[in-house]
Amino acid sequence: MKTKSTSVILKRSILFILLLLYFLLIYSQPKYDFRNKTLVSGTSNQVGAVYRFNNVASGVDAFVTIIDITGGITLNDIDGSSGFAEALQPVINIPAKSSGYAEFRINFLVGGTNTPMVQAEVPMTPIDVDGQVYSGDSLFEYDMVQYNFPSAYFDYNFSGTELSISFPSGWVQGDNIAAIDYPGIDTTAKQVMFTVVNGNISDVIFRVGGTNNSTSSRQRLRSVYFQTFYYPNSILLDGTSLQSFQGNQNTSSVDLVWKLYKNHCLKSISLEKSSSGKDFTTIAEFWPGTDGESITDFSFSDRENISGVAYYRLRLVRVTGKVEYSNVLSFKSNTSLSGNFLKIYPTLVKNNQFTAMIQSDGKQQGLIEMLDYSGRVVYKKMLLLENGINNILINNMGSSLKGTFIVRAVLDNKIYTGHVLAK
């Protein structure tokens, strides 16, 4: 009996390990695989050159076009052979005492054709964005990935000290600031990586470059990997701090309210505002642990009148120093406050939460639902709406909800719809 029991346990253990290895293998694969390029027009490695990559995903081909090269940089190869075969790996030469980049556009195509093909989600991770010191002079690499707000999100190690992440209009940029070299190309050095995910696009632009302060030209192998990664000290909310963040626009102000979970462990909260959705500044600060009490409910009325669109988000700082950001709320100052409508953002959902912007023609109750494409209701929430524009955080949907869903709002016996892709 003992021998039989041990044998059964051993077999089950082996089966478990094999299944674990299988799933690790599946989930470690990139979404897109760029290899075996073919030059279809232009001069190789020069501006205007167009390359075709077949079967970058099932039923998907891609064009990669060299759009621009700046700062005297030269391109040795659009896709070098070192590192990861599935990654797109330009090899660049950076002249002495200069700074510049090579810019590329990827167009996704229906396999075997030149017809554009919209992709539900395109993850891009510049890896090994490192640097090096040459005889006391530093070289710093940097990469930039197009950021199509609001159907996009990004992530990186917020507490890292080797990358500076910034947000030029329409971009996420990662600049190396440590000049530490990591030999080879590796996805374990999270301190020199960042990820940008764009949704519902058929093309995307990225740049690879560097600043060379040394007295000689230097060759650098760059690498863009088409996969998301887990980062220590991620800036994405983990769902244990912020319970809700929503707002209402009326004729004289934007009224914002948010609620924390009781055991939130937050040290401070900054309310940030932007006119572009990218460059945020702090307009108010809050301390949820004042005088030994844990405060969970907050509100703020912004009466500043700005033209165009105003965006709001919360910057949440834990007692450990980790920083997280809330969902983004948006309000348009010249929007007519009459009638009803529904707008969803982002449509590409991360961490099971998104914002529903609902304009209500008066104070009323409403209903918001999520349905799969079979018509099954998978989420339902009753709403109490104020007159004007209401921004409402939709969360606690359950981690099992993956795929594309219809979002349906019922207001005044009328139905308004949108859609989201839950990752």
What pLDDT digit, counting tens, does each position of 255-282 carry? 898 988 887 888 899 999 988 777 789 9
User: What pLDDT score was predicted for residue 261?
Assistant: 85
Burial letters 61-97, b for 16+ CB under 10 A, else e? bbbbbbeebeeebbbeebbbeebbebbbbbbbebeee
Choice among 114-123, 206-215, 386-395 with the minimum mean pLDDT: 386-395
User: What pLDDT score was predicted for residue 46?
Assistant: 98
Kindly report the backbone phi and psi dihedral angles of residue 280, in degrees, each rounded to the nearest multiple of 5, phi listed first.
Answer: -100, 145
CB-based contacts of 405: which residues, under 8 Å, 6+ apart? 370, 371, 372, 373, 378, 419, 420, 421, 422
pLDDT band at 314 (very low <50, low <70, confident <90, very high): very high
Sequence-ordered alpha helix ranges (H) in 179-262: none
Choice among 224-228, 365-369, 414-418 with the minimum mean pLDDT: 414-418
Is the pLDDT at 359 greater than 90? The verdict is: no
> Could you tell me which residue, 139 or 354, shows the higher pLDDT?
139
Mean pLDDT of all residues in 54-83? 95
Percent of the chain surpassing pLDDT 70 = 88
User: What pLDDT score was predicted for residue 25?
Assistant: 40
Look up tokens 């007692």; give the residue: 319
For residue 295, give the DSSP letter: -
> What kind of fold does domain 339-422 have according to CATH?
Immunoglobulin-like (2.60.40)
Report the C-alpha gap between 49 and 46 in whole angstroms.
6
Domain ranges of the chain: 37-225, 237-336, 339-422
User: What pLDDT score was predicted for residue 187?
Assistant: 84
> Could you tell me which residue, 120 or 151, shows the higher pLDDT?
120
CB-based contacts of 344: which residues, under 8 Å, 6+ apart? 354, 355, 356, 357, 407, 418, 419, 420
User: What pLDDT score was predicted for residue 21?
Assistant: 42
Tens digits of residue pLDDT in 106-128: 999 999 999 999 998 899 999 99
Tens digits of residue pLDDT in 156-184: 988 788 999 988 888 999 999 999 999 87
Q: Kindly state the tokens that stand for 248.
A: 């209402």
User: What pLDDT score was predicted for residue 19?
Assistant: 44
Is the pLDDT at 413 greater than 50? The verdict is: yes
Mean pLDDT of all residues in 374-381? 83
Question: Hey, do 237-336 and 339-422 end up sharing a CATH topology, with the first three levels equal?
Answer: yes
Look up tokens 């409403």; give the residue: 366
Superfamily classification of domain 237-336: Immunoglobulins (2.60.40.10)
Cβ atoms of 194 and 275 within 8 Å: the answer is no
